[in-house]
């Protein structure tokens, strides 16, 4: 049977799920004998009251509140419900439809744990270096998980309050930057290797002074050893043999405790470096006041093991940083040379001591003194050279040279134009016009050493061992007087 039009009187409107459909509920007013009608349609929805409805009733007193949550909140009438709802709506904001920025919309809503709200500065929300714009440039900011750039636009950024880890050995990595501004970690090797090139000479001096120990005094007077004459010694001989060290700032007082000369054996006879160099102190070295760039000493080398030695001179707490090597080996002896002069031209002649004499323009050469097979391990040629030539008014002495030469065109020796000097590269002229010249080759280095004048010059060469060598003399003329020279001894290594 259909319920349409059925009227049901009740003291309270049943809950929504328990209502009958297509009926009218007449609900008794509390404390009154009147009823209010509520129509329930076929879907169970409540419709407008069927009769006796006034506009004010729709607003405040139409619905009798039965929801337990509302009743718990103290809302029992439509009027109270409307007031509560109005108060809540006043705190609502419209759904935004505009895209903005923090300049035009500087605030956002914040919510505490009790549901209370407050305005917060939009620029502070979630601010950190990885997700915020640290400048006002549109589009600035960082993207996590991708390469990113911090462009300061010339502003100074600071990181403050970091812990001091100066004494913590685990903090041994530097932050380094390349020319493109990329930042990464470094052990510091590359920056420190590049540092000297960025310093001028005054800054380098300041750096070196700053690095000295509390007991050290640094100055540009630091000793330096450029050459060892002779660079070879035979330790099968039991008498004293003398060695000369040539360099700079070698005028030291061997009677004072702050001066010393030390010899270190750094390699064995086969050229293998020693793990711990053997050290020998030299006590009887000599220095001449008028030759402050030379040290001379003599030792009985038969008491020292074969091998390669270096020398270190200390004066006023300053020590040379490096040294050429001296080879100590059994069976090293010089052989007297008897050169055969040939191809004499111009004013060249041979005197009774078998010297070549150039009294005027001319040239000469000897026979081959060292062939290719003899130069495999190196050699030393000892020569005597002298000049008495001077200019005769406007008649200036022309270029003259005495050298060890090969058919490859390479020649090394002395040039003589009123003064002695090295050829092909000079060192500024020799004081004494008579000297003993050593021309030695060993392990890719050719060394010229003038014994009397205390000068030396070292060349890096590659083709010397492949071409036979002879002694060559040349004078281009001019001046008065003669040039005299002769190769006297040869040492093959």
pLDDT at 26 over 70: yes
The confidence band for 126, taking pLDDT boundaries of 50, 70 and 90, is low
The confidence band for 55, taking pLDDT boundaries of 50, 70 and 90, is very low
- Residue in this structure with the two tokens 């500065």, named with its chain if needed: 121
Q: Domain 335-492: which topology?
A: Jelly Rolls (2.60.120)
For residues 295 and 250, the answer to whether their CB atoms sit within 8 Å is yes
Please state the rounded mean pLDDT for residues 273-292: 80
Q: What is the pLDDT of residue 258?
A: 60
Residues 99-123: tens digit of each pLDDT: 888 788 888 888 888 878 888 887 6
Residues 433-488: tens digit of each pLDDT: 888 888 888 767 788 888 787 777 777 777 777 889 999 999 887 777 788 999 99
Architecture of domain 224-329: Sandwich (2.60)
- Residue in this structure with the two tokens 């400048």, named with its chain if needed: 135
* Whether the model pTM is above 0.75: no
| Residue 162 dihedral angles phi and psi, to the nearest 5° | -70, 150
Return the structure tokens found at 466.
């492949």
Q: What is the pLDDT of residue 53?
A: 47
Instruction: Tell me which of 19-33, 35-49, 214-228, 261-275 is least confident.
Output: 214-228
Please state the rounded mean pLDDT for residues 225-245: 82
Q: Do domains 224-329 and 335-492 have the same CATH topology?
A: no
Structural domain boundaries of the chain?
6-47, 224-329, 335-492
Half-sphere exposure of 14 (CA within 13 A, CB side): 16
């Amino acid at each position: 049977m259909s319920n349409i039009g059925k009227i049901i009187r009740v003291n309270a409107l049943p809950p929504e799920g328990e209502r009958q459909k297509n009926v009218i509920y007449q609900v008794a007013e509390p404390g009154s004998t009147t009823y209010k009608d509520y129509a329930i349609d076929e879907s169970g929805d409540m419709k407008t009251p069927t009769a006796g409805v006034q506009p004010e009733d729709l607003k405040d007193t139409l619905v009798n509140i039965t929801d337990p949550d509302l009743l718990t909140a103290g809302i029992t009438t439509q009027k109270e419900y409307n007031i509560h709802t109005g108060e809540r709506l006043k705190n609502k904001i419209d759904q935004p439809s505009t895209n903005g920025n923090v300049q035009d919309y500087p605030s956002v809503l914040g919510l505490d744990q009790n549901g209370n709200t407050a305005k917060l500065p939009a620029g502070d929300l979630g601010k950190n270096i990885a997700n915020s714009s640290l400048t006002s440039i549109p589009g600035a900011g960082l993207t996590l998980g991708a390469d990113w750039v911090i462009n300061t636009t010339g502003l100074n950024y600071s990181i403050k309050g970091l812990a001091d880890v100066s004494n913590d050995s685990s903090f041994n990595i530097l932050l380094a930057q390349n020319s493109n501004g990329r930042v990464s970690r470094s052990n510091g090797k590359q920056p420190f290797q590049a540092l000297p090139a960025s310093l001028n000479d005054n800054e380098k001096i300041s750096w070196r002074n700053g690095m000295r120990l509390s007991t050290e005094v640094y100055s540009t007077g630091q000793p330096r050893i450029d050459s060892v004459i002779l660079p070879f010694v035979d330790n099968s001989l039991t008498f004293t043999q003398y060695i000369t060290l040539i360099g700079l700032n070698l005028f030291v007082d061997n009677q004072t405790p702050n001066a010393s000369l030390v010899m270190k054996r750094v390699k064995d006879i086969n050229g293998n470096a020693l793990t711990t160099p053997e050290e020998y102190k030299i006590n009887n070295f000599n220095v001449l006041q008028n030759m402050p760039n030379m040290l001379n000493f003599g030792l009985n080398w038969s008491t020292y093991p074969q091998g390669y030695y270096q020398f270190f001179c200390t004066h006023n707490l300053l020590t040379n940083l490096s040294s050429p090597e001296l080879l100590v080996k059994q069976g090293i002896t010089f052989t007297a040379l008897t050169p055969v002069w040939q191809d004499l031209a111009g004013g060249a002649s041979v005197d009774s001591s078998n010297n070549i004499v150039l009294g005027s323009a001319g040239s000469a050469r000897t026979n081959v003194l060292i062939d290719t097979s003899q130069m495999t391990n190196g050699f030393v040629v000892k020569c005597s050279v002298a000049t008495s030539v001077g200019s005769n008014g406007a008649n200036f002495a022309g270029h003259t040279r005495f050298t060890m030469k090969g058919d490859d065109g390479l020649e090394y020796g002395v040039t003589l134009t009123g003064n002695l000097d090295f050829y092909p590269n000079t060192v500024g002229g020799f004081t004494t016009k008579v000297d003993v010249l050593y021309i030695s080759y060993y392990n890719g280095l050719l060394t010229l050493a003038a014994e009397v004048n205390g000068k030396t010059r070292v060349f890096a060469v590659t083709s010397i061992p492949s071409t036979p060598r002879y002694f060559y003399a040349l004078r281009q003329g001019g001046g008065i007087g003669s040039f005299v020279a002769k190769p006297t001894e040869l040492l093959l290594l």
